Structure 1
């Protein structure tokens, strides 16, 4: 199907004409994120720091006894570990590795005082393993990003690849910053969520890029304003698909967040943050950024696009 790109449709919102404001907004969010990470850092879970994690499956409902559990732990010499209490599960996060004697004492004391039918799962991570997991997590994100750059460069061109990777890093950084601001625990499921977000975001971005490439084949391009018009029309043509896709996945992620177990709630929350950020970057950041890069190869006498004005 061929489209007429001869004139800009003034009745439609122009994504490229307003791109400057979206870029400024994203830059502000990025600066705030850097500030929060510099001041607060990340709240690493046991997966990324030395310590022990104790997951207790309950036969009784202890959701109203969080204070009693905290008092018991303090009186028994276990200090103040991270504590999450659900209707059928209690999760403890210790900054230090529990010795065998302490582990047995915890199991026996908790079972006697709160729930004799409780079952325990203890996971311990030492300092070396924690550092290795941190390194491997960074490698996973880096390798995924490099793979995406190579794929997009081969399928499209390097400008599309640069725009795509900037959008992906934007999405990942937004999620990381929000977890830092709200002091949410960063663990291995969080890394899985970030990689999932990267995969979802690049898929949404590629759909728009593919439409831009297709429309460029049929458009008569004389000035950079014509290219801007193609980009704007391409975003509008894929907008319904992008919104429908993100809303469908948001509903699924919300259900996991509300009805899922405690162990996947933070994963679901990270996915929700990433879905919103991914939809925003695919529509408002990636394509206008490609246009900005594309215009850099134009002669100086060429008419500037709305995104560059």
Structure 2
């Protein structure tokens, strides 16, 4: 490898420290603030109201109406012709009818309203299923990478995936963004996309190890750096293409998928970062702890 090129391995310590700091901050934030769960994960009612006219200038009037008529101060997502209300309590049939009547009388007689209610048991079940989905996906990826490569690659890949998912969760906690079912879909999408980039780098490392003359750990480190640089253009081109599509989805998409787009955007950025600066150097760290056999070359190729 060209000695003038940036060495990912030599600077790995700083990236490890950076990721550890973010992880600790995330743990503290989650411990203090928790997550801002949407109706999908806690009991309550979600009301989608579609208007025939533009009501974007009537947000204050709607908030006042809800407060004055016993509906409290629900969470509110406002669009030009669509409003989503999130109530912590389940709306009774009487309140649903009163709300629909009030919206028709005060704002738009042609407005349509859809109410989705989640009780406590369903919310708990959804939380459990979401955790199971992430856990099963991680286990499946670990098994695949172990079979395709070796267990050290699998460990590095799982640490990287947990790192990416936790970063997204932490940022949603810090900025109090709502966590709902589309968010879980986004996390699973991030895990699937992120491992793809990592496997490409791992595959190049394994290929280069076959033909490299390895005598010391530094020789393996040079192989890792070279492999990352050889796949760098592919990683950048791929992520830029997906980022462009995600930004378009965020800017031009509907309000209902805004948080999904934000989660994907964060996951893509940190997915590339961790593939290059975390996963590969971590594999090298694990490899360097391997007990030598007859010689370094045979050990590195195992």
TM-score (norm 2): 0.96
Distance in 1 of aligned mates of 2:81 and 2:226 = 52
Alignment gaps of 5+ in structure 2: 297-302
The ranges of structure 1 where at least 4 consecutive aligned residues each deviate by more than 3 angstroms after the TM superposition are none
Match of 1:97 in 2: 90
Which residue of the other structure, out of 248, 264, 274, is the alignment partner of 1:271? 264
Match of 2:11 in 1: 18
Matches of residues 163-174 of structure 1 in structure 2 within 5 Å? 163-174=156-167
Distance in 2 of aligned mates of 1:11 and 1:177 = 36
Match of 2:20 in 1: 27
Give how far 1:9 is off: 2.1
Tell me if 1:262 matches 2:255.
yes
Matches of residues 289-304 of structure 1 in structure 2 within 5 Å? 289-299=282-292
Match of 1:206 in 2: 199
Give how far 1:65 is off: 1.2
Residue deviations 1:184-224 (CA, integer Å, cap 9, x gap): 00000000000000001000000000100111111111111
Match of 1:235 in 2: 228
Give how far 1:279 is off: 0.5
Distance in 1 of aligned mates of 2:104 and 2:219 = 72
Matches of residues 57-206 of structure 1 in structure 2 within 5 Å? 57-206=50-199
Matches of residues 1-16 of structure 1 in structure 2 within 5 Å? 8-16=1-9
Match of 1:307 in 2: none
Distance in 1 of aligned mates of 2:82 and 2:206 = 52
Give how far 1:299 is off: 4.6
Which residue of the other structure, out of 35, 38, 60, is the alignment partner of 1:42? 35
Match of 2:216 in 1: 223
SS of residue in 1 equivalent to 2:56: coil
Give how far 1:298 is off: 3.9
Distance in 2 of aligned mates of 1:298 and 1:292 = 13
Tell me if 1:245 matches 2:234.
no
Number of aligned residue pairs: 295
Residue deviations 1:6-59 (CA, integer Å, cap 9, x gap): xx4211000001000000000000000001101110000000000000011111
Alignment gaps of 5+ in structure 1: 1-7, 304-309
SS of residue in 2 equivalent to 1:121: strand
**Please, what is the CA RMSD of the aligned residues?**
1.3
Distance in 1 of aligned mates of 2:257 and 2:123 = 21
Give how far 1:162 is off: 0.3
Match of 2:278 in 1: 285
SS of residue in 2 equivalent to 1:64: helix
TM-score (norm 1): 0.94
SS of residue in 2 equivalent to 1:153: helix
Distance in 1 of aligned mates of 2:283 and 2:176 = 34
Match of 1:5 in 2: none
Residue deviations 1:237-279 (CA, integer Å, cap 9, x gap): 0001111111111111111111100000000000000000101
